[in-house]
Chain A
Amino acid sequence: MSSLVIRGAQPYGEGEPVDIAVRDGVIAEIGARLDADGAEVIDAGGLVALPGFVDLHTHLREPGREDTETIESGSRAAALGGYTAVFAMANTDPVADNAVIVEHVWRRGREVGLVDVHPVGAVTVGLKGEKLAELGTMARSAARVRVFSDDGLCVADPLIMRRALEYTKALDAVIAQHAEEPRLTVGAQAHEGELAARLGLAGWPAVAEESIVARDCLLALHVGARLHVCHVSTEGTAEVLRWAKGRGTRVSAEVTPHHLLLDDERLTTYDPVNKVNPPLRTSTDAKALRAALAEGTVDCVATDHAPHASQDKDCEWSAARPGMLGLQTALPIVVETMVNPGLLDWRGVARVMSERPAEIAGLPDQGRPIAVGEPATLTLVDPAGRWTVRGADLASIAANTPYEGMELPGVVVATLLRGAVTARDGKVTA
């Protein structure tokens, strides 16, 4: 007997609406007017069914900054945003550069149980960029770490980066690089351009990202390793990736929702809710990133969900920490910037939000087809719905967001993780 029947959803927004019956966490049947036979029914008329979203880039802040987010609050935000798996970045306090910390994060995620929490391990000890962390031990731990990153900081030393890329080949893992040449970004506050110069904000030049991406692509090809580029933010980086992929480099890349939607025009208020690393670029960059995502040069969307306390945002620009909330606004921004303008169909949304990130991170049970026998790990989206963002209403502990008061299209109606409803109608249910 089915435990749940989803009635009248359109898988990938294609074809006739169908019913999806779920049994033992697996899709048991897909067809017209399936018999609910006492099972829970989700009326999904007018909704699009997608595989559950996978976020390669989330800051859950636990351990260390539980005043801004915890694994529990972040898991709630993820479920409400349609996510069924998130990768928790390593820049916690203490840093996730050893098996003890990554296993803690992994276990805590399992206890909460709303979303699969996969810890990202640090590439270098203490994120200092000097000495490789025990990557193999983390990979072989219960947390089975497959993504390593010093995110927030760049593995700038070319020799350390080369060794990290080479070493992870044996672990079937990938290095996710925060591409930022540190010597070119000393004191950097905002995208280096005419506007930041006028506002007296020290520049973060595009070339500081592009030069590292180019170097790392060359290194990855040279040693035959896989590379993942975090939060691509410039048109130039997209061009470098196109070139590198063209010559057979095993490189993948992500773009954040905020780099698709926002640009450096936001600097004029000096409001640090708009401060983020890499910084908001020009509208030309944002447009180029949308095109790169549509064509697959940039593989996927990752949120870089980065909660910060109000005192670290409601202050002067240079004192503020970089980062913004992202889990609950990611899909709506993808709808706004990609689906509604016709750059991406729902099949494409499934690709960039779920399938590609699952492949990049090597998750066997996420990003799967919506088909009989596959895990019932699904997100139901109302494409016609609209909502207004209120930071205080988001599930994260931190409440500041650059999207405050913004009306966005696309509402996540329900999220299912292996058949269990984790979020429904804006409420966490599991």
Chain B
Amino acid sequence: MRHLLSTDGLDPATALAILDTADGLKRTLLGREVRKLPTLRGRTVITMFYENSTRTRVSFEIAGKWMSADVVNVSAGGSSVSKGESLRDTALTLAAAGADCVIVRHPASGAAHRIAGWLAAAGTSVVNAGDGTHEHPTQALLDAATLRDRLGRIDGRRVAIVGDVLHSRVARSNVHLLTSLGAEVVLVAPPTLLPVGVADWPVGAAGSLRVSHELDPELPTLDAVMMLRVQAERMHGGFFPSAREYAIAYGLGEARARMLPKHAVVLHPGPMLRGMEIAAAVADSPRAAITDQVANGVHVRMAVLYHLLAGEEDNS
């Protein structure tokens, strides 16, 4: 694997290999006092974040550091970007400075694809840490790791993704990854928050992706429910009448959570709006795997860096 740009087109064997590596790293580090592996010593990883982020950035930084890579963080605000430097020039600069891997978050869909093209000659790996409303592949991988932990397997499981699918890169990455790993995905949202033609997207197995506008009938058959954040700008964008009406129709309150089977897991990519898309009591309940997602995020990102930078040469 040279880059990780999307889960669309990521073959299931590679995805499972990353998840297995993440599991292995997790076991290796469990209970260790010094959580540091020498695997990526001498490798340089640069994060370029053009959007605000806490968890993704910290997660990648810790992942790199636990693997002994040199991790450098660049943010749009404190860099030449604020002087008007183009994305291409910034990317070429970071590659020339010695980056083995560039991890990029950018508000433009396709930004990571473009950078991968510009850096083809430099040999630098590119990881998409979220591009516009397109994809966020490591989030989907950590969600898959969390589901596998909690449910034992992903194949044959039914997962609902609820909320603003239209603007969600997390939803897109999850749709592709989960269906390719054999899960059945149902997208639950008002029609205004669903991407055009989503039911016809080419995904895993035929019939593995479905759309619904009603949450309640789905709940009793689910193995997991993934709640998406409703961004403030959408609330005022006319996509639905009011926050109150949204919460009534699509929020995961306590009564709704009781309609889920006992084993069903609740996921949220964060940051959460408690009281809007998810009730505090549900977010803090044992079925919620939200902090597991964050913990798994580090291991999954370590695994991604491993497959990109150590990969074939080093299978120790």
Chain A residues engaging chain B, CB cutoff 8 angstroms:
189, 192-194, 196-203, 269-271, 311, 314-319
| Cα distance, A271 to B110, chains bound together (Å) | 9
Which residue of the partner chain B has the closest CB to A318?
A: B108
Which residue of the partner chain A has the closest CB to B106?
A: A316
B134 interface residue (CB < 8 Å to A): yes
Chain A residues with CB under 8 Å of B86's CB are 311, 315
Question: Cβ of A315 and Cβ of B87 under 8 Å apart?
Answer: yes
| Cα distance, A199 to B117, chains bound together (Å) | 17
B88: contacting residue among A201, A202, A314, CB under 8 A: A314
Which residue of the partner chain B has the closest CB to A267?
A: B110
Chain B residues with CB under 8 Å of A318's CB are 107-109, 132
B65 interface residue (CB < 8 Å to A): no
What is the distance, in angstroms, from B87's C-beta to the closest C-beta of chain A?
5
Question: Cβ of B195 and Cβ of A197 under 8 Å apart?
Answer: yes
| Cα distance, A193 to B200, chains bound together (Å) | 11
Which residue of the partner chain B has the closest CB to A186?
A: B237
Question: Cβ of A270 and Cβ of B197 under 8 Å apart?
Answer: no
A316: contacting residue among B8, B114, B195, CB under 8 A: B114
What is the distance, in angstroms, from B91's C-beta to the closest C-beta of chain A?
10
B169 interface residue (CB < 8 Å to A): yes
| Cα distance, A203 to B111, chains bound together (Å) | 18
B68 interface residue (CB < 8 Å to A): no
| Cα distance, A318 to B169, chains bound together (Å) | 16
Query: When A311-B86, A316-B87, A318-B132 are in contact, do A193 and B197 touch as well, CB less than 8 Å?
Result: yes
Question: Cβ of B109 and Cβ of A319 under 8 Å apart?
Answer: no
Question: Cβ of A270 and Cβ of B113 under 8 Å apart?
Answer: yes
B223 interface residue (CB < 8 Å to A): no
What is the distance, in angstroms, from B133's C-beta to the closest C-beta of chain A?
4
Query: When A198-B8, A315-B87, A316-B108 are in contact, do A203 and B113 touch as well, CB less than 8 Å?
Result: no
| Chain B interface residue bracket vs A | 20 to 34
Instruction: Give the most central of A192, A203, A315: most B CB within 10 Å.
Output: A315
B172 interface residue (CB < 8 Å to A): yes
One digit per residue, 1 when the CB lies within 8 angstroms of any chain A CB and 0 when it does not, for chain B 97-108 equals: 000000000111
Chain A residues with CB under 8 Å of B134's CB are 199-201
B131 interface residue (CB < 8 Å to A): yes
Chain B residues engaging chain A, CB cutoff 8 angstroms:
8, 86-88, 106-111, 113-114, 117, 131-135, 166, 169, 172, 195-198, 200-201
| Cα distance, A200 to B166, chains bound together (Å) | 8
Question: Cβ of B201 and Cβ of A194 under 8 Å apart?
Answer: yes
Chain A residues with CB under 8 Å of B88's CB are 314-315
Question: Cβ of A193 and Cβ of B196 under 8 Å apart?
Answer: yes
Chain B residues with CB under 8 Å of A270's CB are 109-110, 113-114
Question: Cβ of A200 and Cβ of B87 under 8 Å apart?
Answer: no
Which residue of the partner chain A has the closest CB to B195?
A: A197
Question: Cβ of A319 and Cβ of B108 under 8 Å apart?
Answer: yes
Question: Cβ of B201 and Cβ of A198 under 8 Å apart?
Answer: yes
| Cα distance, A194 to B201, chains bound together (Å) | 7
Question: Cβ of A200 and Cβ of B131 under 8 Å apart?
Answer: yes
| Cα distance, A316 to B133, chains bound together (Å) | 14
Chain A residues with CB under 8 Å of B195's CB are 197-198
Chain B residues with CB under 8 Å of A194's CB are 196-198, 200-201
Question: Cβ of B110 and Cβ of A197 under 8 Å apart?
Answer: no
What is the distance, in angstroms, from A312's C-beta to the closest C-beta of chain B?
10
Chain A residues with CB under 8 Å of B132's CB are 200, 318
Chain A residues with CB under 8 Å of B196's CB are 192-194, 196-197, 203
A317: contacting residue among B109, B172, B198, CB under 8 A: B109
6 A–B pairs (Cβ distance < 8 Å), ordered by A: A193-B197, A197-B197, A200-B133, A316-B110, A317-B114, A318-B132
| Cα distance, A201 to B88, chains bound together (Å) | 20
Which residue of the partner chain A has the closest CB to B176?
A: A198
Question: Cβ of A200 and Cβ of B109 under 8 Å apart?
Answer: yes
| Cα distance, A193 to B86, chains bound together (Å) | 29
Which residue of the partner chain A has the closest CB to B131?
A: A200
Chain B residues with CB under 8 Å of A197's CB are 166, 195-198
Question: Cβ of A319 and Cβ of B87 under 8 Å apart?
Answer: yes
In the A-B complex, list the 8 residue pairs whose CB atoms are closest, starting with the nearest: A270-B110, A200-B134, A194-B197, A197-B195, A200-B109, A200-B133, A316-B108, A318-B108
| Cα distance, A194 to B166, chains bound together (Å) | 12
| Cα distance, A199 to B113, chains bound together (Å) | 11
Chain B residues with CB under 8 Å of A271's CB are 114, 117
| Cα distance, A200 to B133, chains bound together (Å) | 5
What is the distance, in angstroms, from A304's C-beta to the closest C-beta of chain B?
23
Query: When A316-B114, A318-B132, A319-B87 are in contact, do A201 and B201 touch as well, CB less than 8 Å?
Result: no
